[in-house]
Structure 1
Amino acid sequence: MSAKLNQNPEQIARDKIDTTLTDAGWIVQSKHKVDLWAGSGVAVREYQTDVGPADYVLFVDRKPAGIIEAKREEEGHRLTVVEDQSKGYAEATLKYLNNDPLPFVYESTGVVTRFTDYRDPKPRGRNVFSFHRPETIREWLKKGKSLRTALNGLPSLDTTGLRRAQVKAIEKLEDSFRNNRPRALIQMATGAGKTFTAATFIYRLLKFADAKRVLFLVDTKNLGEQAEQEFMTFQPVDDNRKFTELYTVQRLASSYISSDSQVCISTIQRLYSILKGEELDETAEESNPNESTWMQKQLGKRKAVPVEYSEKVPIEKFDFIVIDECHRSIYNLWKQVLDYFDAFLVGLTATPDKRTFGFFNENVVSQYTYEQSVTDGVNVPYDVYSIETDISNKGEVVQAGWFVDRRDKLTREKRWQQEDEDTEYSKNDLDRKVVNPSQIRNIIREYKRALQTEIFPKRFNENGEYEVPKTLVFAKTDSHADDIIRIIREEFNEGNDFCKKVTYRIDEDPKSVLNRFRNSYYPRIAVTVDMIATGTDVKPLEVLLFMRDVKSTNYFEQMKGRGTRTIDNDKLMQVTRMANTKTHFVIVDAIGATRSKKTDSRPLERKPSVKMKDLLGAITMGVEEEDLFLSLSNRLIRLEKQITPKEKEKLLEHSGGKNLKQMAKELINAFDPDTIKERTQEKISQTPIEERTPSKEEGARKEAHQELIREAASTFNGELNEYLENVRQEHEQIIDHINIDSVVNSGWDHFTIDKAKETVHDFSEYLKAHKDEIRALSIFYNQPYQRRDITFKMIKEVMEKIRLEKPKLAPDYVWNAYATIEKVKSNQPKDELTALVSLIRRACGIDKQLKPFDKTINENFQDWIFKQNAGKHNRFTPDQMEWLRMIKDHVLSSYHIDMDDLDYTPFDSRGGRGKMYQLFGNEMNDLIDELNKILVA
């Protein structure tokens, strides 16, 4: 010990460097005892060069490869200053050898180590956790050129099949690689294809940069499985084979990393456990870090998470690490896990925050926002519909004396109990501390009503049955989810298949339920806590029902992202038959998430209006009232029946080894006359009989009473009290079946109304801006007398231009916008082009109210027939009326009729223009002109 104390700082640093080198597989030797045959990697101390002795020279397979310049620990901040000195040794000639300059150069204090690869185009030092292994350096020498040199030779990107935002992200990322930027951030909206983008650039790194291995890092098992599926289906544009046929993709399910894997998919939790050499708790990969109880345990540890060198997973194990959903807190607590590896770090996220930008050195190579993705038609926009109830806003009171159910959160076992105290609960206590079935029921009932009348009113089939759009409900807890499911099934009058829970804690396979929700007709509604809150694609989703608040902005944005995905019309109609196309999704906010910034035989209970935490606090602070002691005893007796063995074990740590029964018994005994008498007799028995007097006996009684009070009260302290209160709240929920809730507000959110006004305005402005270049618009605005000449082809031209330039102004969405701000009495036409004509007529002022163009044509036809018959009873024969109706129907679908149209379906099968001439004679041409004019007026 004394020898170590006497060591100078340089020697202490050398000892640490020796240990670090040995851990990394190097054999450390003195210059006087050199044996290059001792192993593949030998580090020789104080090796002589023509410019002096180098602190360490690294030999691989008996050939010099690198040097280490050693410095004292306190000089860690000065390592960059000695880079020239290090380089001088690397370029020097070694004694006995006629060597070329050595490419691999380290500066180290044994605590801080920097590394420069002088084969790089512009060699730049970087901090590394440890030294690279000899076999790695052998492999680098065999390849000849460095990874960073190879990155400079990446070929141009083939943009086939890539969106504009994906092309930009990949090209800018590769520019960042070429500039040797160690960290890069890709911000890409949810649904814009982040994983596909990653698969594309990973393929290019493996093929063209000869990258050894890439780590795709996630933070839930579910996201890992989804990423694996993406790689399995990915097919590069320059090869007919799938990615997994070209390269080995391994999703880590244990600590084993295959030597031949080129892509590893892992959770950060598993990676940490591998580096620590520990078994991973199976629940650790289920929830994302914002929700994970496992993560909270790690956060609760007093010391930072220690990461030590792992021989099985050296620092150079991965050349690139792609961090999916990198906005989450994983890089905060687990920053050192990522710092461990000598790799390029690439972050993928839709919702970065300040910490994200900081971690990635503000190197944002690409930003593609949700708003941009909607404008490009990559994602769909959303509306917000609010449902507020009285209890959701204000909470309520369960009064002392009421008989209510209390339910265990985990077992859901109920017990009927008369309440000891008033329990006032706020909206934040709902579904955690108190369950109010009426509150849940009123929300679900109102949601059902709003669906059919305002949100998606066109989903009734020919039998008058309503088809509920695919809906995802966000619940607070597993217990809350169960309550929601039961009430949804009741209120919608449906069976088990209609509404399912999708969490990690269900008896059914959650993957199977999720696949059915995604690809099958049933379930129509899924309820989740966190499994599909983020990252999971369910493209047919059209409604997100928030019944839980979210405090994290990023997490809320991720949850919103579940609804943004576009889907092919055919695929949508396979699971939702009454939906023609997914133009938008709706957030139904029932919790304010869009607005928030996320009897014993002895009557023991004497203080029914005092809360348990106040009883505990009073006794801890020395209040010696019998009623307090007996009331607390009563509460502890009840609590003892509910807590788990693990909680009982933890309790003993806070209570000095006393269990709840002992504590309750001591509280009772403190004021129990028989116990006091017994303790008094023990004290008196120690006094000689001749010395016993009434006053001494009274003194002994008081002393005995105080001892019993002290024994009972001394157990309680702030730490124990908090634990008891937390355990009580954790286990039980009050079922408030007495306070009845009511809906106080239901309707489109101001956000949606403002957005609808903006959409209508943008649509009108777009039409005006193009009225002189598009023939149909020119006629509508400037030449109303020529509306008879507008053809199907002209309307289709308008539609195609809107789709190309302004996908946000699709007829479905603009119609919904008008319906939000105006009283639109009729349903939207099923045909998009017919709807577009209706919208154009409304925007340019022909119609004062939005109404279906097909309805306008039918009404105009009826009016015209009525006028024709006025004073001329039955002017047209039945055969003539049949032909006039055929002409009207043709105008309905084609907006115009020409004489040549009479030679085609359906007219040709009825005799064509010859038959019409036979029926109408010389009136034929005039009738066609008149109907073209009248029907579209």
Structure 2
Amino acid sequence: MNKKTLSERDICTKFITPAIEKAGWDKNTQLLEEVSFTDGKIYVRGKLTARGTRKRADYILYYKPNIPIAIVEAKDNKHSVRAGMQQALDYAQILDIPCVFSSNGDGFVFHDRTAMDGNIETEFDNDNFPSPEELWQKYKKYKGIETPEAEKVVAQDYYFDGSGRSPRYYQQIAVNRTVEAIAKGQDRILLVMATGTGKTYTAFQIIHRLWKSGTKKRILFLADRNALIDQTRRGDFKHFKDKMTVVKHRMIDKSYEVYLALYQGLSGADEEANAYKQFSHEFFDLIVIDECHRGSAKKDSAWREILRYFNKATHIGLTATPKETKEVSNIEYFGDPIYTYSLKQGIDDGFLAPYRVVRVNLNVDTEGWRPEQGKTDKKGNEVEDRIYNRKDFDRNLVIEERTQTVARKLTEFLKGYDRFAKTIVFCTDIDHAERMRSAVSNLNADLVAKNHKYIMQITGDNDEGKRELDNFINPEETYPVIATTSELMTTGVDAQTCKVIVLDAEIKSMTKFKQIVGRGTRINEEFGKMYFTILDFRNVTDLFADKDFDGDPIRVKPVSEDTDLSGIVDEEENIDTPIIDEESGEEIEIETEIRYPEPQTPTDKVHEPREKVYVNGVDVSVLISREMYFDNNGKPITTSLKDHTKDLIKGQYASLDDFLNRWNSTDKKELIIKELEDQGVLVEALRDAVNREVDLFDLICHVAFEQPPLTRKERANNVKKRDYFTKYGDQARKVLETLLDKYADEGVTNIESMEILKVKPLTDYGSPLEIIKQFGSKAKYLEAVKELEQELYKTA
């Protein structure tokens, strides 16, 4: 047998798999082949989307189903035995795997990430692959698992419910690192995972493994919103069944093992309301704090007192947005995150929806507004003469026409996109949300007449709106479609099908911005939710450019004790300080307007916030509406789209000849599109910016290499003039002429697909099989299409 003639798959089947099995690896439970561990990044192409390539390992070896300990990258025998090592190391880094192998069927190269003595890479033949037990010892060394007690905890299985659901790779890492840290005695742990990445499911698997192994016998899951407790109880935690209870009305039953509780249900303003003291200090072994960036992040909060009371328990903090200010810190309490899975990672892996951003600049926002002399408000009072700007609008001063303009722009967008796309409009306060609901209703009177719940105000003070929150987030329910809100929906709302987020409030807090963006990041393919659009009226999306948007959280050093903090109000104070029902102990979700005090001198008195001024008769118009574009690092592109693209393409192809060689040698031009998109080229945006009638080939040659572009129709006509089809039979010629017309209309990637033979007008020539017969065989048909492509680009 000549190994050089075998495919990579044949090498795996005939040599690599048998060598691993011979070493004692069970093919059913320990040896997994062709493991895809990402879903493939979603690319938005106009209104359509496409998935990028999934990351896939040739082999992942598991000691137990929850513990991946080795990765093997295979190559065919034309490559060296080491050829797959670099890719395998990249995947091992992502997957947190210590043992890395490369093979071409002749033998293996082993890269040992635990080695400290210089023998990092060794080579051996197919008869000497390490056994599961050998690599398990390496894994324990890599993770610092030194005692039998710790090994028992680490080796405890996940919970599998028979549905086929298992943790994604990043959830697996988060669970394993947490369990391993606890097994080694760590008692304060922080997990940072982007909204929509399954923090609650991750928490459930952590708790289940620790509970099942007997390491933690009584567990408290703490949250500060009713919705979070309800989602947890009905969702991932339902498998605890009768072992679990929800603490309500400060009634404590100590016979359960897993407790779900609101902070507000355990603590209160006076000592008698502190129900948590009905438990002993040692009652809980483990406390998991959901959304720990809010109330429990504050050192002097009543909620932090609960954690101090149960200080002998292990505390795990979960958050998408760890809070780090001079006065508030998650890291100071929990330590540095044991694992971080960011929004950018989630989007790159295809587990989170990407976003488009449309910035809308209004004249009064950009230029400011100054009342003409004698201008009066709606009450007839003269308006103070000064320049009002975006920070004033809807907080101090309401311009009715501004509200109307925002509502009209939103309506125009939805009419051009999807009028039933679930939409959240974030407003300055409740008053603003009320007025926005009215303005959007008037502009969508046809749909509101059919169902008044087409648009709803969902704020903390509005019972009717709050009752519709579950319907808004339920993909099966059509109504409400549009929700206007201010604070209530910034967090804790699992809006799977939210396709549009409107920003018409001043947002300076990175924590709050991340939470708002998180409302749109969930994917629901069944309901067509693959990406979302942010309509930004306040330049809030400038925060995408902030280095802290998707970076690791860094502890901000506390201010010195003698620093004067008088007059400083935390922007999120209203989120972190809920109002409590005295009888039930549960949260009353009332939103309050955030007040920004004027700078004070030591002798100043604190004044009551000024009453809002309402004016009309102001000319408000849209100065500019444009889409923002982002690079591969998620940062806004500040140069022109053409210059950005030129730099990327020239980084891929050194010269025009390099590109032409690549183009002509590639059978499927779709592969080149994917390569460019992976590099960060925004193909669809570039088409819009240059000319949608231009072929991708001409687009690249024009933008990167300054070649004059031809339209697709011009290229097709050039082929027709050369009378290229005469060598084919009558029917085959008609098929090729039709393919040429299809190219002129739709582009080269469509004619490369066999699926095109199933659409009009090609179906007029018969079934795909009958069409192929006109060319003699499928191979000859594909050869004819290839020749057609060569003719199209002959003049290049």
TM-score category, normalised to shorter length = 0.5 to 0.7
AA aligned opposite 1:325: E
TM-score scaled by structure 2? 0.59
CA gap of 1:315–1:423, structure 2 versus 1, over 3 A, is farther
> Does the CA-based 8 Å contact 1:189-1:368 persist in structure 2?
yes
Match status 1:194 vs 2:150: no
CA gap of 1:764–1:251, structure 2 versus 1, over 3 A, is farther
Could you tell me which residue of structure 2 aligns to residue 418 of structure 1?
Answer: 380
State the secondary structure of the residue aligned to 2:489: coil
Could you tell me which residue of structure 2 aligns to residue 356 of structure 1?
Answer: 329
AA aligned opposite 1:262: E
> Does the CA-based 8 Å contact 1:394-1:427 persist in structure 2?
no
Question: Which of residues 454, 458, 477 in structure 2 aligns to 1:498?
Answer: 454
State the secondary structure of the residue aligned to 1:428: coil
Could you tell me which residue of structure 1 aligns to residue 690 of structure 2?
Answer: 823
CA distance in 2, matches of 1:843, 1:880: 36
Match status 1:934 vs 2:791: yes
What stretches of structure 1 of length at least 5 have no aligned partner? Answer: 1-147, 233-241, 279-306, 406-416, 460-465, 574-580, 599-717, 772-776, 828-834
Could you tell me which residue of structure 2 aligns to residue 475 of structure 1?
Answer: 427
> Does the CA-based 8 Å contact 1:534-1:559 persist in structure 2?
yes
* Structure with the greater alpha carbon radius of gyration: 1
Could you tell me which residue of structure 2 aligns to residue 685 of structure 1?
Answer: none
Q: Which string of whole-angstrom CA distances, capped at 9 and with x for unpartnered residues, describes residues 58-105 of structure 1?
A: xxxxxxxxxxxxxxxxxxxxxxxxxxxxxxxxxxxxxxxxxxxxxxxx
Match status 1:325 vs 2:291: yes
Q: Which string of whole-angstrom CA distances, capped at 9 and with x for unpartnered residues, describes residues 431-458 of structure 1?
A: 2333211112223334455677xxxx6x
AA aligned opposite 2:247: L
State the secondary structure of the residue aligned to 1:266: strand
What stretches of structure 2 of length at least 5 have no aligned partner? Answer: 1-146, 159-164, 547-601, 630-634
Could you tell me which residue of structure 2 aligns to residue 9 of structure 1?
Answer: none
RMSD after superposition: 4.9
Match status 1:752 vs 2:636: yes
CA gap of 1:896–1:326, structure 2 versus 1, over 3 A, is closer
> Does the CA-based 8 Å contact 2:188-2:334 persist in structure 1?
yes
CA distance in 1, matches of 2:365, 2:723: 61
State the secondary structure of the residue aligned to 1:418: coil
CA gap of 1:150–1:274, structure 2 versus 1, over 3 A, is farther
AA aligned opposite 2:622: V
AA aligned opposite 1:153: K
CA gap of 1:255–1:766, structure 2 versus 1, over 3 A, is farther
CA distance in 1, matches of 2:658, 2:201: 45
Map 1:476-625 → 2, pairs under 5 A: 476-492=428-444, 494=446, 495=448, 496-508=452-464, 510-519=466-475, 520-568=477-525, 570-572=526-528, 581-582=530-531, 585-595=532-542
CA distance in 1, matches of 2:209, 2:270: 28
CA distance in 1, matches of 2:782, 2:354: 48
Q: Which string of whole-angstrom CA distances, capped at 9 and with x for unpartnered residues, describes residues 718-763 of structure 1?
A: 999967x44xx4xx54320133323334324586334967984797
Shift of 1:553: 1.9
Could you tell me which residue of structure 2 aligns to residue 243 of structure 1?
Answer: 239
Could you tell me which residue of structure 2 aligns to residue 338 of structure 1?
Answer: 307
Could you tell me which residue of structure 1 aligns to residue 9 of structure 2?
Answer: none
Could you tell me which residue of structure 1 aligns to residue 258 of structure 2?
Answer: 263
AA aligned opposite 1:476: T
CA distance in 1, matches of 2:618, 2:510: 33
Match status 1:366 vs 2:339: yes
State the secondary structure of the residue aligned to 1:273: coil
CA distance in 1, matches of 2:644, 2:239: 42
Could you tell me which residue of structure 2 aligns to residue 314 of structure 1?
Answer: 280
CA distance in 2, matches of 1:149, 1:877: 77
AA aligned opposite 1:161: S
CA distance in 1, matches of 2:704, 2:239: 53
Shift of 1:541: 2.5
CA distance in 2, matches of 1:778, 1:895: 25
Question: Which of residues 391, 399, 402 in structure 1 aligns to 2:364?
Answer: 391
CA distance in 2, matches of 1:255, 1:162: 35
> Does the CA-based 8 Å contact 1:438-1:741 persist in structure 2?
yes
> Does the CA-based 8 Å contact 2:360-2:622 persist in structure 1?
yes
Shift of 1:322: 0.9
Could you tell me which residue of structure 2 aligns to residue 153 of structure 1?
Answer: 152
State the secondary structure of the residue aligned to 2:425: strand
Match status 1:217 vs 2:222: yes
Could you tell me which residue of structure 2 aligns to residue 291 of structure 1?
Answer: none
CA distance in 2, matches of 1:553, 1:925: 53
Map 1:412-451 → 2, pairs under 5 A: 417-419=379-381, 422=384, 424=386, 425-448=388-411
Shift of 1:905: 7.5
State the secondary structure of the residue aligned to 1:215: strand
The structure that is helix-richer by fraction is 1
Identity over aligned residues, as a percent?
Answer: 23
CA distance in 2, matches of 1:477, 1:447: 19
Could you tell me which residue of structure 1 aligns to residue 89 of structure 2?
Answer: none
> Does the CA-based 8 Å contact 1:321-1:344 persist in structure 2?
yes
CA gap of 1:373–1:248, structure 2 versus 1, over 3 A, is same
Shift of 1:162: 1.9
> Does the CA-based 8 Å contact 2:422-2:498 persist in structure 1?
yes
Q: Which string of whole-angstrom CA distances, capped at 9 and with x for unpartnered residues, describes residues 157-187 of structure 1?
A: 6587222222221122122212222211111
CA gap of 1:401–1:814, structure 2 versus 1, over 3 A, is closer
Could you tell me which residue of structure 2 aligns to residue 607 of structure 1?
Answer: none
CA distance in 1, matches of 2:643, 2:279: 55
State the secondary structure of the residue aligned to 2:306: helix
AA aligned opposite 1:272: S
CA distance in 2, matches of 1:861, 1:886: 11
Could you tell me which residue of structure 2 aligns to residue 739 of structure 1?
Answer: 618
AA aligned opposite 1:258: D
Could you tell me which residue of structure 1 aligns to residue 41 of structure 2?
Answer: none
Q: Which string of whole-angstrom CA distances, capped at 9 and with x for unpartnered residues, describes residues 228-255 of structure 1?
A: 23325xxxxxxxxx6144x533333321
Shift of 1:376: 2.1
Map 1:101-116 → 2, pairs under 5 A: none
CA distance in 2, matches of 1:877, 1:838: 31
> Does the CA-based 8 Å contact 1:543-1:587 persist in structure 2?
yes
CA gap of 1:521–1:719, structure 2 versus 1, over 3 A, is farther
Which piece of structure 1 moves more, 175-184 or 374-383?
Answer: 374-383
CA distance in 2, matches of 1:886, 1:543: 39
TM-score scaled by structure 1? 0.51
> Does the CA-based 8 Å contact 1:191-1:564 persist in structure 2?
yes
CA gap of 1:889–1:353, structure 2 versus 1, over 3 A, is same
CA distance in 2, matches of 1:442, 1:910: 53
CA gap of 1:370–1:784, structure 2 versus 1, over 3 A, is closer
Shift of 1:190: 1.9
CA gap of 1:911–1:261, structure 2 versus 1, over 3 A, is closer
Which piece of structure 1 moves more, 469-478 or 149-158?
Answer: 149-158
AA aligned opposite 1:352: P
Q: Which string of whole-angstrom CA distances, capped at 9 and with x for unpartnered residues, describes residues 127-157 of structure 1?
A: xxxxxxxxxxxxxxxxxxxxx9966621436
CA gap of 1:847–1:445, structure 2 versus 1, over 3 A, is farther
Match status 1:376 vs 2:323: no
CA distance in 2, matches of 1:399, 1:213: 68
Match status 1:814 vs 2:682: yes
State the secondary structure of the residue aligned to 1:490: helix
> Does the CA-based 8 Å contact 1:400-1:422 persist in structure 2?
no
State the secondary structure of the residue aligned to 1:594: helix
Shift of 1:809: 6.1
State the secondary structure of the residue aligned to 1:530: coil
